[in-house]
Structure 1
């Protein structure tokens, strides 16, 4: 199913394990949003990628787009809070995120959504995770990336919910290239006042899997 992954030497040979979340670096955005970034949070990420390709029940979806139904340009799988995750290290990752962010978030991370970007033609359009409580409440979405690096872009919404029409303009687009065990956590008002995307790439890029950990009622 998977195209060949050109792995990182270290990600392929190291034991699969998590580094300390005390190493995260916070970047303040605008309109009440922030992101935390930790490159290489998960060591041995390429071996986890290979296991997930085989172990996860991937599905292709089709969605209504205006007057036609189109293929979703990535494969998907979603684990509800009562579901067993496909790899023990993902349980460890969710528990570590809850321990580190629980006091700030006010609740644990509970679900895990997985996206499989097979090549540069797979993508996700600009959006915020605003299905459910994310449309009205500050929350967090933590994304662990394994496989080949891909660009994740963030940009402010045209009229962020948390600010009026006056005041200084919001910042421009933010870009982070994520893969091989990198972590990004989007917090505060990020889902409501900013949006994010994985753009298509015309350059040769390898496959990537993202694992999104969310609290209950956030999609």
Structure 2
């Protein structure tokens, strides 16, 4: 069975999914949307991702030495079939819902596997590519154990936190990638979690 769908006619989820999505306005033109228990079949999607995604470990230069990236990674590029039909439907629904604001579809899916509380991601914005100079969106679907996503303004000010639970959706939009940073901090105890980040073309 082909789960890919076309970039412009991806299978979609029913519109009522977005009825419970709430927007929070941040500073300097940034915003986030949050939808709780947003993804149908979250249990099956999570099990499939843990089992079937070709996860890889990476090492990155940190000052004068190489260190392990504290999570496993895989990216599904433009045209790559996604590992579960639920993700293809989710991407289609997100593209249809946000196209009036975004002006284009979501076409890639970056996946991060947080194996336990020691896995994390440091403060950053998705500013490689067009996200450095243009408003854009990144839609995150969280699966598995709850983890805290922290956000802070780049120029200083109050930070906020969102605990992302199993099947939750968080969309960062407007100037969020340029004017705010986000992170998933380490915690003492946590079970496995997979984060799927849907992005438009040339946003990393």
The TM-score, its normalising length taken from structure 1, stands at 0.85
Q: Paired residue for 1:152?
A: 149
| Cα deviation, residue 176, structure 1 | 0.5
In structure 2, runs of 5+ residues without a counterpart are 1-13
Deviation at 1:37, TM superposition (A): 0.2
Check conservation: 1:140, 1:214, Cα contact below 8 A.
Answer: yes
What is the RMSD computed on CA atoms of the aligned residues?
1.5
Match of residue 93, structure 1, among 90, 95, 118: 90
SS at match of 1:42: coil
Choose 19-28 or 109-118, whichever is displaced more: 19-28
C-alpha distance in 1 between matches for 2:166 and 2:187: 18
- Look up the match of 1:188: 174
Q: CA deviation at 1:117?
A: 0.2
- Structure having the higher Rg: 1
- State the match for 2:162 in structure 1: 176
Name stretches of at least 5 consecutive residues in structure 1 with no aligned partner.
1-16, 159-169
Q: Structure 1: which 4+ aligned runs deviate by more than 6 Å?
A: none
Distance 2:73 2:131 in 1: 20
Q: Which of these residues, 101, 124, 135, is aligned with residue 121 of structure 2?
A: 124
1:174-210 deviation per Cα after TM superposition (whole angstroms, max 9, x unaligned):
11111210000000000000000000001x2111000
Contact (CA 8 Å) 2:148, 2:162: kept in 1 or not?
yes
Q: Deviations over 1:74-101 (max 9, x none)?
A: 0000011111111111110000001100
Which residue in 2 is equivalent to 1:164? none
Contact kept, 8 Å, 1:147 with 1:179, in 2: the verdict is: yes
Match of 1:210 in 2: 195
C-alpha distance in structure 2 between counterparts of 1:187 and 1:45, whole Å: 24
Question: Which one of 7, 29, 32 corresponds to residue 32 of structure 1?
Answer: 29
Q: Secondary structure at the match of 2:117?
A: coil
Checking the alignment, whether the CA contact within 8 Å between 1:79 and 1:111 is kept in structure 2 is yes
TM-score, with length taken from structure 2:
0.91
CA distance in 2, matches of 1:195, 1:210: 17
2:103 maps to which of 103, 106, 123: 106
**TM superposition shift of 1:22:** 2.8
Check conservation: 2:60, 2:68, Cα contact below 8 A. Answer: yes
